[in-house]
Amino acid sequence: MEMDSVVIKLCWSVLLIVSCSSILLKLIKKWLLKPNRIRSMLSKQGVGGPKPSLFFGNVKDIQKIESLLNPLSSPSSSSGPVSHQDWVLSIFPHLQKWTRDYGGIYMFSTGSQQHLFVNRPELIKELKMHKSLDLGTPGYLSKALEPMLGSGIIKANGQQWAHQRRLIAPEFFPHKVKGMIGLMEGCTMSMISKWQSLLTESKGGVLDLLIDQDLRSLSADIISRACFGSSYAQGKSIFLKLRAMQEVMSKPNLLFGLPNIRWLPTQSNREIRRLKKEVEDLILKVVKDRQEESLKDGKNSKDLLQMILESADADNELHQYIHKTDRFIVDNCKNIYFAGYETTALSASWTLMLLALHPEWQERVRAEAIEMLGDCTDQPHCSLDVDTINQLKMLTMVVQESMRLYPPSVVMAREAFADIKLGDFVVPKGLHIWSLIPALHRDPENWGADSNEFKPERFANGISEACKYPQTYIPFGTGTRLCVGQNFAMLELKIMLSLLLSRFSFSLSPNYIHSPVFKMLLIPKHGMRLLVKRV
């Protein structure tokens, strides 16, 4: 018995040593070997950058730069003249400082994560042309955003992403999107009626409105009806909970892979888990209601939700990558709910703010809209069609310029899942590539000395003629990860803005505070407050 006890203890000791050795080797690989391999490959190609410490990388440098620059460069907390340039300095100031120190390409580190910042137009072009699945959303970022986006199309990678894109992208092709014009117009006219009623009741015929709230509701109503066959009222709880989750999760440390331990029972982590469950339960209820409705009347709606349901039920290739049908449905619905309303509402808000600041352009766009839409300002609808909307050239230029100065997405992020060639550079496997979109959109060498000014005329001959390197204009992303809803979003924006501008004029409220901030997207921190009156 004594011998057996000794043998057992010896076995446990060996097992413990083996386990500890395995863990130690994994830690050495993660924190030492992999980072050194990546940095060595980049260094040999002439890429420099701030020197990292062993376990923290450049985290302390980032914190120091933010503490020094943010108080100086953050947007004003009081109302006053609007600057389109000052706020940019407060968006990831460490990236902008290092760009001044090391040029348009450099490496930095956050713990064990190694990053390459790219601000060179020729390399952005190479990224745009790269078609393989060896580039995708950074893995740690997908994991961190899982509560909000799951494994849906925005954050999925590899074959799983490719298959989801093949299923979803056709639903946003131009011939499908143009069938949604009447729906977009109807939803917009409902909001217009609300504003007109408020104006009738107002003193002086002027409203001081937080327009971003109404535009968010409008965009949510459109995406709900177009993609899910339900009204905003039915999906209101989903949107409100997704926005609450966005607020809790909007931290720079999440974006760059800084410590963010989700399993700790902190108040924010508990809040995220609660919101995640509630959102998923609400989406599954929408799905269940649709399925029961189909069984009851024997008819299937031809919207995006029905396509997702049919694909999840019948596609054998889908089951190869996504094993739980409900998970596929819920994740992609979350992606569409989030991406389909927030970015469009923000773009409309920033555009109206810019037109409020530039009344001469507001008048041009209004005159064009009234001319193209006809005399329907007092009618319940204008019977819009694709040809009419495509002829709104002034409005198109204004929207493009607005999305240049205030792009909804602030960063473009990619991870190399294999060693890949990017121009003259070999990008090592495991490296995260970053570009700061506001910096690309305001580069004076590309856009000219007036790059910080609102000048829609630069887009008079299209994006290809607006600057030296049009591949750096990426409000909808770039390459294979280009937003599948781009056609839908642009059509929605033009309809919303043309109808609003043909009926109302906009100017800045004296209570407006210009303070764009990063909260997963570029949002007005204090809301978009404008004065609205009838034309």
Strand partners, 110: 57, 113
Strand partners, 163: none
| Burial per residue of 55-79, b for 16 or more beta-carbon CB atoms within 10 angstroms, e otherwise | ebbbbebbeebbeebeeeebbeeee
Contacts of residue 319, defined as CB under 8 A and 6 or more positions apart, other chains included, come to 325
C-alpha separations of 150 from 155, 278, 286, 321, 466 in Å: 7, 14, 18, 14, 37
Q: How many CB atoms lie within 10 A of CB 517?
A: 17
The tokens 């745009």 sit on which residue?
128
The letter for the amino acid at 258 is L
Residue 408 near residue 347 (C-beta atoms within 8 A): yes
Give the Cα separation of 345 and 356 in Å (integer).
16
**DSSP summary character for residue 525:** T
Give the Cα separation of 488 and 483 in Å (integer).
10
Residue 312 near residue 329 (C-beta atoms within 8 A): yes
The tokens 């269940």 sit on which residue?
288
Contacts of residue 131, defined as CB under 8 A and 6 or more positions apart, other chains included, come to 479, 480
CA 105 to chain CA centroid, nearest Å: 23
Q: How many CB atoms lie within 10 A of CB 412?
A: 20
Contacts of residue 434, defined as CB under 8 A and 6 or more positions apart, other chains included, come to 95, 115, 116, 117, 118, 411, 412, 413
For the annotated binding site for heme, the residues are 483
Can you say whether the dihedral through the CA atoms of 493, 495, 498, 503 is positive or negative? Answer: negative
Both tokens of 496, joined, read 């919303």
Give the Cα separation of 376 and 502 in Å (integer).
9
In 3D space, the residue among 192, 183, 534 whose CA is nearest the CA of residue 366 turns out to be 534
The tokens 């008079």 sit on which residue?
460
C-alpha separations of 465 from 452, 458, 459 in Å: 18, 8, 7
| E runs forming strands in 126-271 | 135-136, 207-210
For the annotated binding site, the residues are 483
**DSSP summary character for residue 29:** I
Please give, one letter per residue, the 3-state secondary structure of 189-226: HHHHHHHHHHHHHCCCCCEEEEHHHHHHHHHHHHHHHH
Strand partners, 443: none
CA 375 to chain CA centroid, nearest Å: 37
